[in-house]
């Protein structure tokens, strides 16, 4: 990028804004802050940031509404910040277009990692997508529809591969149960989380060194799944 990435932070807590601004500026980001939803929406339109960090507990508007309104006109990555008890809101935000989430209190490393992942995917949708994804001993070839482990092909069912491909092409990002089920099994099965669990189990068995301690086929309980490739 020619200029440093521009991040818009929308949060009503002035302490958090101050801390994030300091840290992100240190890490060579340009930072704009907003403390209400309306202000955030106005600034988003005005400055056209490269990423938005959005707190769900805003005073004037529902964070979900801000998310929806943003998605009406921009594909800018949105990372939502939620408090411990806003589990449900987190998932809803993700289903309505947010790219990732963080639960307060969070570590800065995690935040930065997620922001980077989100921005990378954005450039990928504009540019060329990764066709081969590597995660440890596993290689996933999206063009040839095959996965190998230590160079040996692993036999996967069509559904299993579809799931794997979907996760891998969104590597680093969380995908909600609902979005995975809809994408892989179709809309009518969007609530049958059992299918997803079983398939994840199968994939782990076939691809992970220790299925009980997965390295790249991660489950985020209550939210969804995340594929952690080499880059993450």
Tokens of 35: 């403390």
Q: Is 139 in the site for another protein (CB under 8 A)?
A: no
Contact region for another protein (CB under 8 A) — 43-51, 55-63, 67-75, 207-215?
207-215
Q: How many CB atoms lie within 10 A of CB 45?
A: 11
Nearer to another protein, 5 or 136 (CB): 136
Nearer to another protein, 90 or 121 (CB): 90
* Nearest distance in Å: CB 58, another protein: 21
Q: How many CA atoms lie within 13 A of 76 on its CB side?
A: 26
Q: How far apart are alpha carbons 105 and 15 in whole angstroms?
A: 13
Nearer to another protein, 32 or 232 (CB): 232
H or E element, residue 219 = strand 217-220
Q: Is 200 in the site for another protein (CB under 8 A)?
A: yes
Contact region for another protein (CB under 8 A) — 31-39, 115-123, 134-142, 203-211?
203-211
Q: Is 157 in the site for another protein (CB under 8 A)?
A: yes
* Nearest distance in Å: CB 101, another protein: 14
**Distances in Å between the alpha carbon of 61 and those of 46, 47, 79, 85, 112?**
19, 21, 17, 18, 26
CB of 220 closer than 8 Å to CB of 226: yes
Q: How far apart are alpha carbons 8 and 53 in whole angstroms?
A: 6
Interaction mask 169-188, another protein, x per CB under 8 A: ----------------x---
The DSSP letter of residue 146 is E
Residue the block writes with tokens 């804004």? 17
Q: Is 22 in the site for another protein (CB under 8 A)?
A: no
Q: How far apart are alpha carbons 83 and 141 in whole angstroms?
A: 38
- Beta-bridge mates of residue 82: 103
Q: Is 151 in the site for another protein (CB under 8 A)?
A: no
* Nearest distance in Å: CB 54, another protein: 22
Chain-centroid distance of CA 94 in Å reads 8
Nearer to another protein, 16 or 66 (CB): 16
- What number of chain residues touch another protein (CB under 8 A)? 29
Q: Which of residues 72-131 bind another protein (CB under 8 A)?
A: 84-85, 87-88, 105
Binding site for another protein (CB under 8 A): 84-85, 87-88, 105, 157-160, 185, 192-195, 197-202, 204-205, 211-214, 219, 221-222
């Amino acid at each position: 990028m020619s200029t440093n990435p521009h991040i818009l932070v929308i949060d009503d807590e002035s302490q958090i804004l101050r801390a994030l601004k300091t840290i992100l500026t240190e890490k060579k980001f340009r930072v704009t802050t907003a403390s209400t939803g309306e202000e955030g929406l106005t600034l988003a339109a005005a400055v056209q940031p490269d990423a938005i960090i959005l707190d769900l507990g805003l005073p004037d508007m529902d964070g979900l509404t801000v998310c929806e309104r943003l998605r009406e006109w921009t594909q800018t990555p949105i990372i939502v910040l939620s408090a411990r008890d806003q589990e449900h809101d987190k998932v809803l935000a993700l289903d309505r277009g947010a790219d990732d989430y963080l639960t307060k209190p969070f570590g800065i490393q995690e935040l930065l990692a997620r922001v980077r992942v989100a921005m990378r995917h954005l450039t990928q949708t504009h540019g060329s997508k990764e066709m081969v994804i590597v995660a440890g001993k596993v290689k996933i070839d999206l063009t040839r529809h095959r996965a190998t482990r230590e160079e040996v092909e692993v036999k996967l069912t069509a559904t299993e591969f579809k799931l794997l491909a979907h996760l891998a092409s969104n590597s680093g990002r969380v995908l909600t149960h609902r979005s995975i089920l809809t994408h892989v099994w179709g809309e009518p099965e969007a609530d049958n989380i059992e299918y997803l669990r079983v398939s994840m189990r199968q994939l782990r068995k076939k691809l992970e060194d220790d299925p009980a301690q997965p390295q790249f086929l991660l489950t985020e309980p209550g939210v969804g799944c995340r594929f952690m490739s080499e880059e993450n």
